Structure 1
């Protein structure tokens, strides 16, 4: 290029190469993984991703408040609220008074909700294991450590009230 001329965007290197951009790559991985899992819980049980997260949380902890399931940057409280309402309407979860805090209700799986959790959880774990099968045990440990570090840093960088799946 001649001295004094300005380069156009077409003549210069791109500022961002999408396929190399970490947030994009993580989003692609999450999307592909969610699609694989959706074949299990969406097609077989008619559950959305947020509804599945609520079921898994209640399957793991027995009961939780809706607020417990909406930590910053994971699931927005309105997303949790919609999932809870849909699951309650289907008879998969119940609300109980929280004796420690009358402003909140405790959510728990019904026997039908527990049966879905117990049917789907092993299949979801098998998908996760299949995904990880391409890694050595050391790579798995390293990946886990790196995900923890990146998640911690992202929590610092992210706005407080972020809807999941954006970015």
Structure 2
């Protein structure tokens, strides 16, 4: 096979060590668990991980709006809206009347049953992650992950400020 004229055919000198790059390892673990969960949920219930996240959020926070769910589970609002539409059509979720644009959402009795049926599939991912850890290690891991999430929120806030500054410069 002949290479295109501008093709770089050798690995570069300065690259990420993919075996020790922590964000990649976390992403691979997360993606593997989500893929497994989604496949199991689709096979058994005809619903996916996004639908499960909405159901789970409403089990924790009855009356949350789609925007509140989006923020709580860190999902795009359009994806939450699509799941709410699917779950409403299946009569697993109902919308309350609030008079405003954002309507509170609630699980129906069928939605609560679906939650309880889906929960073990999601909890299996937790079991896989924590299988080789002591209770103290689990506590330390969860503390560390919450701290890291806080740093990510700070980084996102900084990025938003940088984007606003760029927008101001371009005006």
Q: TM-score range, shorter-chain basis?
A: 0.7 to 0.9
Instruction: Look up the SS of the partner of 2:71 in the other structure.
Output: coil
Per-residue CA deviation, residues 140-166 of structure 1 (Å, 9 max, x unaligned), is 111111111111111222356xxxxxx
Note the alpha carbon deviations across 1:64-94, whole angstroms, 9 max, x for none.
1001111188101111111111111121111
What TM-score comes out, normalization by structure 1 length? Answer: 0.79
Q: Find the counterpart in structure 2 of residue 65 from structure 1.
A: 65
Counterpart of 2:54 in structure 1 is 54
Larger RCO of the pair (alpha carbons < 8 Å, separation 6+):
1
Q: Partner of 1:85 in structure 2?
A: 85
C-alpha RMSD of matched pairs (Å)? 2.4
Pair 62,72 (structure 1): closer, same or farther in 2 beyond 3 Å: closer
TM-score (normalizing by structure 2): 0.77
Structure 2, unmatched stretches of 5+, are 1-7, 161-171
Q: 1:72 to 1:54 in 2, by over 3 A?
A: closer
**Which has a greater percent of helix?**
2
- Cα drift, residue 131 of structure 1: 2.7
Unaligned runs of 5+ in 1: 1-7, 161-167
- 1:19 and 1:115 map into 2 onto residues whose CA distance is 42
Bigger CA drift: 72-81 or 88-97? 72-81
